[in-house]
């Protein structure tokens, strides 16, 4: 069967032939991969910036934003049936018996860093025809979400952020009934974050560099969110344009933007960081004023990476809601669908918001 592999040593990305997986045992399921979404992580791995093959392999099979169909189940599978649609989680636990988070299945909070990630770190991904996966790593998806289910993995980032925001804001002595949210960045993570927020009926502003009359800005407005372009409003002026914000969801990976945006944060507000910045020369920021405001306003800053099973389940719910309320907007996130053979080309050159590779079906 075919697979899209990255050979980091040889600096090559190509479709190769690999052996089919063995029949599933125990709690495993054999899956037929339908589609896999491509993101910045895949592009960085395909540019040989990082990404580690499994031990003993000279290549890494790419792909972590997958949707698949159950073909066969092992004898101890209890939750899944043949024909079910599933989305796999990405991170697998580290082997350290002292890592409490991994031992309770919350490897998204792993404390040792020795976790593996399918398609990223020491484990093959899903850009292949058949895979075997344990059912505890598979989240069932209703069949009506088939054509948008590759969005569940990137949406799980926003879902984990929502879980974290809810947990952190338990600190408040009362629970506000409405929130104003600001999304920094209109890439796939930002757009999906904005979808999750607007279907939760939060007033949402998206701030990004595309012009206010661009197709991307139109997509934001179709969600029912407000779009503000960096072209008209520099980040230093953002609070005078949009007013006080309860939660900022950062999806742009630019520290000066993220931390300057805190001046729009309302008292008791929360800044959630999801972007991983390039390590550039030190930047200048009024860090004294930023710190003073955070302290005097009881504000919190949190980083969040990857997602646990509960966040994937929440992402399925949010996607169902979004497909009920704004199906056109959700579908428009996927701007390009191509066969596996086109993978190496698509990895070099993004087409619109989200590229998806079709494997089977």
**Angle CA(166)–CA(272)–CA(156) in degrees, nearest 5?**
70
> What is the closest distance, in whole angstroms, from the C-beta atom of residue 41 to Zn ion in the complex?
5
Looking at beta carbons only, is 156 or 262 nearer to Zn ion?
A: 156
Stretch that binds Zn ion, among 38-46, 173-181, 280-288, 318-326 (CB under 5 A): 38-46
> What is the closest distance, in whole angstroms, from the C-beta atom of residue 109 to Zn ion in the complex?
8
Kindly identify the residues of this chain, within the stretch 304-333, that bind Zn ion according to CB under 5 A. none
Which among 25, 29, 18 has a CA at the least distance from the CA of 71?
29
Looking at beta carbons only, is 284 or 349 nearer to Zn ion?
A: 349
> What is the closest distance, in whole angstroms, from the C-beta atom of residue 337 to Zn ion in the complex?
17
Kindly identify the residues of this chain, within the stretch 220-279, that bind Zn ion according to CB under 5 A. none
Query: What DSSP line would sit under 23-60, residue for residue?
Result: PP-TTEEEEEEEEEEE-HHHHHHHTTSS-BPPTT-S-E
Task: Indicate if the alpha-carbon torsion angle 187, 161, 327, 336 is positive or negative.
Answer: positive
The tokens for 321 are: 């809601």
> What is the closest distance, in whole angstroms, from the C-beta atom of residue 46 to Zn ion in the complex?
12
Query: What DSSP line would sit under 243-287, residue for residue?
Result: --EEEEEE-S--HHHHHHGGGGEEEEEEEEE-------SPPP--H
The tokens for 253 are: 């990976």
Judged by DSSP in three states, 65 sits in: strand
Looking at beta carbons only, is 86 or 99 nearer to Zn ion?
A: 99
Q: Does 350 bind Zn ion (CB under 5 A)?
A: no
Looking at beta carbons only, is 110 or 182 nearer to Zn ion?
A: 110
Q: Work out which of 3, 29, 39, 265 binds Zn ion, going by CB under 5 A.
A: 39
Which among 312, 338, 318, 347 has a CA at the least distance from the CA of 330?
318
> What is the closest distance, in whole angstroms, from the C-beta atom of residue 126 to Zn ion in the complex?
11
d(CA 312, CA 338): 25
Kindly identify the residues of this chain, within the stretch 82-121, that bind Zn ion according to CB under 5 A. 94, 99, 102, 110, 112
Stretch that binds Zn ion, among 16-24, 35-43, 250-258, 267-275 (CB under 5 A): 35-43
Looking at beta carbons only, is 100 or 171 nearer to Zn ion?
A: 100
User: Which residues of this protein are in contact with Zn ion, per CB under 5 A?
Assistant: 39, 41, 94, 99, 102, 110, 112
């Amino acid at each position: 069967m075919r697979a899209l592999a990255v050979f980091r040593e040889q600096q090559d990305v190509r479709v190769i032939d690999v052996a089919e997986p063995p029949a599933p045992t125990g709690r495993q399921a054999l899956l037929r991969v339908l589609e896999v979404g491509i993101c910045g992580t895949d592009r960085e791995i395909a540019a040989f910036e990082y990404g580690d093959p499994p031990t003993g392999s000279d290549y890494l099979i790419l792909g972590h934003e997958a949707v698949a169909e159950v073909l066969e189940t092992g004898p101890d599978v209890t939750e899944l049936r043949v024909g079910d649609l599933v989305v796999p989680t990405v991170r697998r636990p580290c082997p350290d018996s002292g890592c409490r988070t991994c031992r309770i299945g919350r490897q998204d909070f792993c404390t040792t860093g020795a976790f593996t990630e399918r398609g990223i770190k020491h484990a093959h991904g899903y850009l292949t025809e058949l895979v075997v996966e344990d059912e505890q790593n598979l989240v069932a998806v209703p069949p009506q979400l088939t054509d948008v289910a590759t969005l569940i993995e990137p949406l799980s980032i926003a879902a984990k952020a929502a879980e974290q925001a809810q947990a952190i804001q338990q600190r408040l002595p009362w629970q506000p009934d409405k929130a104003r949210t600001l999304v920094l960045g209109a890439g796939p993570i930002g757009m999906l974050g904005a979808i999750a927020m607007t279907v939760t009926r939060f007033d949402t502003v998206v701030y990004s560099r595309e012009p206010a009359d661009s197709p991307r800005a139109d997509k934001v407005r179709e969600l029912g969110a407000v779009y503000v372009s960096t072209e008209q409003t520099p980040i230093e002026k953002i609070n005078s344009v949009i007013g006080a914000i309860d939660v900022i969801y950062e999806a742009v990976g630019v520290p000066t933007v993220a931390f300057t945006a805190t001046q729009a944060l309302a008292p008791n507000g929360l800044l959630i960081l999801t972007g991983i910045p390039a390590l550039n020369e030190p930047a200048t920021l009024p860090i004294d004023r930023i710190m003073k405001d955070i302290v005097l306003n009881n504000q919190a800053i949190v980083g969040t990476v990857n997602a646990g099973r509960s966040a994937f389940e929440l992402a399925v719910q949010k996607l169902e809601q979004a497909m009920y309320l704004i199906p056109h907007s959700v579908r428009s996130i996927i701007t390009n669908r191509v066969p596996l053979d086109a993978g190496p080309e698509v990895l070099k050159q993004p087409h619109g918001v989200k590229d998806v590779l079709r494997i089977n079906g």
